[in-house]
């Protein structure tokens, strides 16, 4: 989105100094990823982003925000503000006023990134669509998504994460979504939320924010989600495997590459769908995408095209075979009990000589963590899956334990043609390194 530096200064309550009133094109907080003409927003965290203003401008940024005195030696427009993170949110609000009313917020304990990706693929069949990159779903990533939307954007999909009650409400104050999708409410991040009721309260802030003429897309297969219908004045569209859902699926099959096909039923018609995304659990995410897209006017035939062609963010159910004939299922982006169980079922569905799961920690589960890890290891055993646990003793006696990634790779030195390996853990484990080492 093209924005005048003076407009930014006005909206953040700051002052434009050190340069002309340039037009910026989008924004970034990463000096290593600057595109020509962008606004650089230095964030103060473990490292102070102000230290990278010079390198950001050298890389092509034409203006920068700053809560420090402007850098006289830096040849770019400086926009002063009290706090750069708060100012970035204000920039997001400024851009939102220029966007159309097709803004979809996606939240949930599980599946929000995949649902966002699938919906972006479907909407793109009919509208010029912008969507959150990867899992840019917090108070920094969401306004960046808005700021980087093209000027001619016709629809936007933003992912919304939460670390506590009130976070999604704050994101909604920036994005002002007109459509909201809630996928699931599960006992994840309980170290932060305390209990699952708090998780439900937080996720429901999305539907509470919707205007009366908006659309709440709710998972009919999950009681805590469909109950959110009572928390919104917007139209409710339900989705799920429940036959009574507004958008549902029948005749589900899964091929040898874990890609699901099904008959899609919607208020706008029915069609046959084949997913490009892997895993039977993606059917539910696809139904959520179809419901939101249909509510925004996408024809049902276009839904099928979009769902087939949609590209998922990286490290999610990536399947490849090494030169040695070993199949790797890389689902290492993140993990919680629900997604871990789905990944194990996918692993068990693959043809293979041996099936091995290299599992890292499932973070932020609070007091439930030891039992949750042990249950996953037991489920793996029941599916005939060997478990190699990386630096996570809670998987217990059902797993072979190693201390780090190097030891995990060494433990796999007897892999042979026809073996299948799942790699999965929370982001802190970074187990994609195992997949990379295996080829």
Q: Is residue 154 classed as helix, strand or coil in its secondary structure?
A: coil
CATH of domain 318-438: 3.90.190.20
CB within 8 Å of 418: residues ≥ 6 apart? 325, 326, 352, 353, 354
**Residues 138/127, Cβ–Cβ less than 8 Å:** no
Q: Can you name the CATH fold of 99-309?
A: 3.40.1190
pLDDT, one tens digit per residue, over 264-297 is 999 999 999 999 999 999 999 999 999 999 999 9
Return the pLDDT at 188: 86
Tell me if 111 is assigned to a ligand binding site.
Answer: yes
Q: Is residue 255 classed as helix, strand or coil in its secondary structure?
A: coil
**Residues 187/369, Cβ–Cβ less than 8 Å:** no
Q: How far is CA 207 from CA 106, 107, 359, 398, in A?
A: 10, 10, 35, 41
Residue (of 274, 222, 227) closest to 249 by Cα position:
274
Tell me if 178 is assigned to a ligand binding site.
Answer: no
Tell me if 112 is assigned to a ligand binding site.
Answer: yes
Domain locations in the chain as residue ranges: 3-83, 99-309, 318-438
Tell me if 361 is assigned to a ligand binding site.
Answer: no
DSSP 35: P
For the chain, the first-to-last Cα distance in angstroms comes to 40
Burial label, 319 (beta-carbon count in 10 A; 0-12, 13-18, 19+): middle
**Residues 121/307, Cβ–Cβ less than 8 Å:** yes
Weakly modelled stretches of the chain, pLDDT under 50: none
Return the pLDDT at 145: 98
Tell me if 67 is assigned to a ligand binding site.
Answer: no
**Residues 27/11, Cβ–Cβ less than 8 Å:** no
Tell me if 114 is assigned to a ligand binding site.
Answer: yes
Q: Can you name the CATH fold of 3-83?
A: 3.40.1390
């Amino acid at each position: 989105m093209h924005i005048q530096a003076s407009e930014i200064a006005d909206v953040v309550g700051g002052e434009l100094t050190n340069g002309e009133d340039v037009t910026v094109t989008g924004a970034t907080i990463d000096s290593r990823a600057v595109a020509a003409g962008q606004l650089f927003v230095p964030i103060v965290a473990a490292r102070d982003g102000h230290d990278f203003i010079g390198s950001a401008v050298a890389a092509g940024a034409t203006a920068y925000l700053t809560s420090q005195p402007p850098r006289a030696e830096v040849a770019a427009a400086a926009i002063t503000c009290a706090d750069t993170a708060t100012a970035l949110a204000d920039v997001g609000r400024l851009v939102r006023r220029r966007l159309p009313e097709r803004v979809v917020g996606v939240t949930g304990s599980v599946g929000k990134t995949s649902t966002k990706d699938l919906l972006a693929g479907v909407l793109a069949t009919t509208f010029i669509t912008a969507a959150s990159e990867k899992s840019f779903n917090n108070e920094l990533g969401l306004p960046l998504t808005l700021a980087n939307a093209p000027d001619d954007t016709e629809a936007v999909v933003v992912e919304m994460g939460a670390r506590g009650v009130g976070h999604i409400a704050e994101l909604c104050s920036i994005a002002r979504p007109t459509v909201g999708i809630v996928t699931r409410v599960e006992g994840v991040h309980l170290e932060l939320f305390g209990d699952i009721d708090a998780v439900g309260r937080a996720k429901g802030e999305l539907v509470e924010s919707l205007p009366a003429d908006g659309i709440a897309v709710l998972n009919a297969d999950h009681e805590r989600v469909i109950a959110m219908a009572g928390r919104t004045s917007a139209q409710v569209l339900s989705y799920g495997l429940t036959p009574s859902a507004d958008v549902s699926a029948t005749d589900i099959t899964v091929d040898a590459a874990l890609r699901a096909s099904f008959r899609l039923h919607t208020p706008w018609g029915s069609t046959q769908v084949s997913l490009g995304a892997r895993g039977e659990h993606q059917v539910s995410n696809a139904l959520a995408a179809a419901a939101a897209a249909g509510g925004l006017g996408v024809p049902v035939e276009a839904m099928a095209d979009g769902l087939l062609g949609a590209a998922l963010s990286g490290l999610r159910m990536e399947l490849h075979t090494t030169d040695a004939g070993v199949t790797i299922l890389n689902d290492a982006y993140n993990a919680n009990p629900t997604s871990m169980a789905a990944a194990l079922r996918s692993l068990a569905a693959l043809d293979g000589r041996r099936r091995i799961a290299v599992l890292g920690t499932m973070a932020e589960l609070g007091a439930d963590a030891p039992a949750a890890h042990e249950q996953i290891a037991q489920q793996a055993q029941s599916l005939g899956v060997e478990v190699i646990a990386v630096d996570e003793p809670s998987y217990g006696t059902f797993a072979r334990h190693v201390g780090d990634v190097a030891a995990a790779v060494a433990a796999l030195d007897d892999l042979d043609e026809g073996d299948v390996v799942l790699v999965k853990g929370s982001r802190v484990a970074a187990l994609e390194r195992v997949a990379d080492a295996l080829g």
